[in-house]
Amino acid sequence: MKSKVVISIIVSFLFLSGAQAQERNALYKWRKGIVKNEFIYDKAPFPSCHSATIAETPTGLVYAFFGGTHERHPDVEIYVSRQENGKWLTPVSAANGIQEDGKRLPTWNPVLYQIPNGDLMLFYKVGPKPSEWWGMLKRSKDGGKTWSAAEKLPEGYLGPVKNKPVLLSNGNLICPTSTEGNGWNIHFEITSDFGKTWRKVGPVGRGEDNINAIQPSVLDHGNGKLQILARTRNWAIAESWSYDNGETWTPLKKTTLPNNNSGTDAVTMKNGKHVLVYNHVLPPKDNPKGARTPLNVAVSKDGVNWNAVLILEDSPISQYSYPAVIQTSDGLLHFAYTWRREKMKHVVVDPKKLKARPIKNGVWPSVKGYTLPTLETYKAEEE
């Protein structure tokens, strides 16, 4: 009798191991093209971290994020790590929220931008919460080694709220931004002299569905045609279009891609194709907030029809969120994102090795042995 039980256990174990191996092999099909997968650091003096940004400078890659006891805690600071000889240096504090009267406030959402043949800009926010924060800016002349004194942006200006600015063909630097005080609204802050003077465009109309959207990213289709993709409370990524280099914008409209009320990012590659990194998660009907896992990458030629190409993370242990993506001068894609609020991740991808599978009706395509988890698989996030 005992021998039968032992045999049964062994058979069950082998079956499960085989099924898990099959799933891992199937998931590998979604990770072709990855050439490097690494953490920015192993240990840090802070327990929590979030909100990645990355930039290529003449002296190498620079990565920034915020870290502290937890989001909204007054001790949260902006940390910067530089890459030297292919390795990330220990993150160091580059900005904090200490005020002139000694009061301390949390910092938020850093955004790096390298001016062509110029300074590295570090935008960030300071304030007790997103509806009350304000925009700050520091500059570095040595690729992030040292930083200028913090300068507050003009009253009412935030700088890019999460995703990188885009330098347009007319010389304007367009910063995609948004506010959360009176509902969620998207607008743009434009500078023609890299932050010396500013003007605003927007807000973008909410459209027929009264879309609440924040944290847009800008795609450049050429000849003055721009597109934004944004986070929403409406169960879908939203888009808007401009045909005059960002001076006017169409009302917001839902795309066919789901959104879990979490941040996304996008970039236009040198070949004109567009890359989007996001959580391909459709929340339940009664709650627009969904799990921040898995973390997906899609590619499009026109910004409308998207193809699935990568799954950067897939685990019931959430969260993998607030991503950033850039293409460096060598043509490689670099993804930066929060890993479980415990560490910050960096993944390098060769876009030439990606295999595209059409996303039809907003459904991530399946491959043999692997299907993207459904909304019932993971619980919704609270933050």
Q: Is the pLDDT of residue 383 over 60?
A: no
What is the pLDDT averaged over residues 49-63? Answer: 98
Give the pLDDT confidence score for residue 126 in this predicted structure. Answer: 98
Average pLDDT (44-58) is 97
**Per-residue pLDDT averaged across 292-297, rounded?**
96
pTM for the whole thing? Answer: 0.92
Mean pLDDT in residue range 148-160: 98
Question: Tell me, which fold does domain 30-358 have in CATH?
Answer: Neuraminidase (2.120.10)
The separation between the first and the last C-alpha atoms of the chain, rounded to the nearest angstrom, is 52
- Average confidence score pLDDT of the chain: 92
Distance CA 96, CA 76 (A): 7
Residues 6 or more apart whose Cβ sits within 8 Å of residue 288: 232, 233, 234, 235, 260, 261
Residue 380 has pLDDT above 60, yes or no: no
Task: Please report how many Cα atoms fall inside a 13 Å half-sphere around the Cα of residue 134, on the Cβ side.
Answer: 11
What is residue 64's predicted lDDT score, i.e. its pLDDT? 99
Amino acid in the structure at residue 32: K
Q: Can you tell me the mean pLDDT for 319-344?
A: 98
Q: What is the β-pairing status of strands 333-339 and 343-349?
A: antiparallel
Task: Please give the pLDDT value at position 285.
Answer: 92
The answer to whether residue 13 scores a pLDDT higher than 70 is no
Residue 66 Cα to chain centre, angstroms: 14
**Rounded Cα–Cα distance for residues 79 and 97 (Å):** 12
pLDDT digits (tens, 9 = 90+) for 81-134: 999 999 999 999 999 999 999 999 999 999 999 999 999 999 999 999 999 999
User: Quick check: 143 and 62 in contact, CB under 8 A?
Assistant: yes
Measure the CA–CA gap between 245 and 190, rounded to whole angstroms. 11
5-14, 53-62, 244-253: segment of lowest average pLDDT: 5-14
Question: What is the predicted pLDDT for the residue at 27?
Answer: 77
> With pLDDT > 90 as the criterion, what percentage of the chain qualifies?
86
User: pLDDT higher for 198 or 381?
Assistant: 198
Predicted local confidence at residue 3, as pLDDT: 55
Higher-confidence position of 51 and 15? 51
What local confidence, expressed as pLDDT, does residue 23 receive? 53
Q: Which two tokens stand for residue 98?
A: 């200490």
pLDDT at 5: 45
Dump pLDDT digits (tens) for 16-27. Answer: 454 455 555 677
Provide the 10 A C-beta neighbour count for residue 205: 16
